[in-house]
Amino acid sequence: DTLNLNAAFSLAVSSFLRMGGFTYKPSDLKNMRRFKAGRLTRRCIISSTAGDHVLLRLPRSKTDHQNAGVNIVVAANAFTTDPAYPVANITTLLREGPQEDDQTLFRLRNGAFSRGQVLKLLAKCLQRCGKDSTHYKGHNFRKGTTQHAYNNHLSQEQIQALGRWTSDAFNMYYNTDPMRLYGLQRRFLTGQPSPLSLNLPINQ
């Protein structure tokens, strides 16, 4: 369970995911065709050949009004073995987990990666760290991620782009050059400015 939880939590934070975006109900597994069309499977992760990022493909998203799916660039960190960074965790999960592309991306030893079970396990993790989990809810992932981005001096426009908020942010996300999104991801995760080539303005 630890491997799945580490990968899911770090991916949720780096990708501004809603909890419903990476959890699922046991009943969802009864129809795998429908599951693959709307939930995360192993095929939703594409690793770059350079190892500097992975591409997360969300089959469905709250802001994806056209149901076309959403591609999210998740940048790697220079310290590739750091357990807090998603690319390292996802790479380990894909290497050690089931190999079939149609398998669920995340799972628990005792069953589905459901919201209720995941929150219970998260509460236990927080308690072991001496943190109060009483008021922690699923939406705290996005709230905490937003605060982290703000603390790392990302602008409101950049935070909206990474988090895919509002219809304007949704349109901006799809119109933003992938290299710029990659640069924003690097800055968000590390707090360091992107290389100069990634900061150049996008030609219209």
Q: What is the largest CA-CA distance in the chain?
A: 51
Distance separating alpha carbons of residues 177 and 198, to the nearest angstrom: 10
Q: How does pLDDT run across 31-52, given as a tens digit for each residue?
A: 999 999 999 999 999 998 888 8
Residue 150: predicted pLDDT: 79
Distance separating alpha carbons of residues 125 and 129, to the nearest angstrom: 6
Give the pLDDT band of residue 174 (cuts 50, 70, 90). very low
Residue 98: predicted pLDDT: 73
Is residue 121 within 8 Å of residue 5, measured between CB atoms? yes
Is there a domain that residue 60 lies in?
A: yes
Is there a domain that residue 61 lies in?
A: yes
Q: Which domain holds residue 99?
A: 2-199
Number of structural domains, the chain? 1
Distance separating alpha carbons of residues 124 and 132, to the nearest angstrom: 10
Q: What percent of the chain has pLDDT over 70?
A: 82
Most confident of 42-51, 58-67, 131-140, 157-166: 42-51
- C-alpha distances in angstroms, 55 versus 27, 98, 100? 28, 19, 18
Is there a domain that residue 190 lies in?
A: yes
Is there a domain that residue 70 lies in?
A: yes
Q: Is 130 left (phi over 0), alpha (psi -120 to 50) or beta?
A: left
Angle at 45 between CA 78 and CA 202, to 5 degrees: 65
* 65 vs 1, residue with greater confidence: 1
Residue 27: predicted pLDDT: 96
Tell me: pLDDT of 177 over 70. no
pTM: 0.77
- We report the CATH number of the domain holding residue 160 as 1.10.443.10
Q: How does pLDDT run across 131-146, given as a tens digit for each residue?
A: 888 877 777 788 888 8
- C-alpha distances in angstroms, 78 versus 16, 75, 81, 86, 186? 21, 10, 9, 12, 10
Look at residues 20, 6, 104, 113 and name the one whose alpha carbon lies nearest to residue 64: 20
Alpha helix (H) residue ranges in the chain: 2-15, 32-38, 86-96, 115-128, 140-151, 156-163, 166-175, 178-190, 196-199
Average pLDDT, the chain: 82
Is residue 107 within 8 Å of residue 113, measured between CB atoms? yes
Is there a domain that residue 165 lies in?
A: yes
Distance separating alpha carbons of residues 7 and 92, to the nearest angstrom: 8
Is there a domain that residue 74 lies in?
A: yes
Is there a domain that residue 204 lies in?
A: no
Residue 63: predicted pLDDT: 66
Is there a domain that residue 142 lies in?
A: yes
Q: How does pLDDT run across 69-123, given as a tens digit for each residue?
A: 889 999 987 655 565 689 999 999 999 877 789 999 999 998 899 999 999 999 9
